[in-house]
Amino acid sequence: MEISQRDLANAIEVNFVIVKEGVIEELIEVKYGDDTLSKSLQYYAQRLKPKRATQIVANLKHSYDKNGINVIDPLTYFSREYT
């Protein structure tokens, strides 16, 4: 997928993309204290349709899922196993 001029002009980005054999497995956005769902993560999750989209928040009080995006604290995220 090509990045549009609009995306470049608006500096829409996510922090990490995990790709396996050319397929996007996961989009990851990392925040310290803001648990509001990232607009750029939502944007790319809708367009790229990864297997997972995750927002990791350091000081998160309660994990939640919204619009197919998992918002989670780092300890829980790194303790999960993926197949």
Q: Locate 68 and state its tokens.
A: 């197919």
pLDDT tens, position by position, 7-62: 655 668 899 999 999 999 999 999 999 999 999 999 999 999 999 999 999 999 99
Cβ-contact 4, 30 below 8 angstroms: no
User: Does the pTM exceed 0.85?
Assistant: no
DSSP annotation string for 32-69: SS--SPPHHHHHHHHHH--SEEEEEETT-SS-EEETTE
Number of domains present in the structure of the chain = 1
Residue ranges making up the domain that contains 31:
5-79
C-alpha span between 47 and 64 (Å, rounded)? 21
| pLDDT on residue 9 | 55
| pLDDT on residue 81 | 73
